[in-house]
Amino acid sequence: MYLIKWLPVFLLFFSIACKPTSTSKKAEAQTQGINFIEDDWNQALQNAKSNNKLVFLDIYATWCGPCKMLRQYTFTNTSVGNFFNTNFINVSVDGEKGIGPQLAQQYSIVGYPSLIITDATGKPVLVTAGYMQADDLLKFANEALKRSRNQVNE
């Protein structure tokens, strides 16, 4: 009898405690970090032209440890995400699938990850390879913006 009396209270408490939150960790990371167009180079170039922005291209491999670290630690950084989402059209491409091998050859990449900032026509502004922490990636991006402005003023 005692159990039946408290069963509705227990069920209510259990349903509140188990209620899923409105944002998952993955969705939260997407809003905090860099928002990438996945595997669509042409869309990235079109968006860059229409928004008058540079393109940030991440060429990675699924087996690459430094690529996974970039995705887990650097690309999810709030400051990095805010800066890149404001200043660039961001695209991420698997270097071994789809358009990836063509882009890897076009930009003569020598390793993964390769991080390339281009203008809206795909002309490289600045290229680097390997894992970078958030501060270094922001320095890289600022240097690319500076070089791009200098090219326009020449």
Q: What share of the chain is helix, strand, coil (3-state, %, to 5)?
A: 55, 20, 30
Question: In angstroms, rounded to a whole number, what is the distance separating the alpha carbons of residues 49 and 40?
Answer: 15
| pLDDT value, residue 45 | 96
Indicate the pTM of the whole model.
0.78
| pLDDT value, residue 118 | 97
| pLDDT value, residue 93 | 97
CATH of 33-153, one of 3.40.30.10, 3.40.50.300, 1.20.1050.10, 3.30.470.20: 3.40.30.10
Q: Is the peptide bond before 101 cis (omega within 30 degrees of 0)?
A: no
Closest CA to 36 of 1, 12, 70, 64: 70
Kindly report the backbone phi and psi dihedral angles of residue 20, in degrees, each rounded to the nearest multiple of 5, phi listed first: -70, 150
- Print pLDDT tens along the chain (154 aa): 544 555 454 444 444 444 444 444 444 444 689 999 999 999 999 999 999 999 999 999 999 999 999 999 999 999 999 999 999 999 999 999 999 999 999 999 989 999 999 999 999 999 999 999 999 999 999 999 999 988 755 5
The domain spans of the chain are 33-153
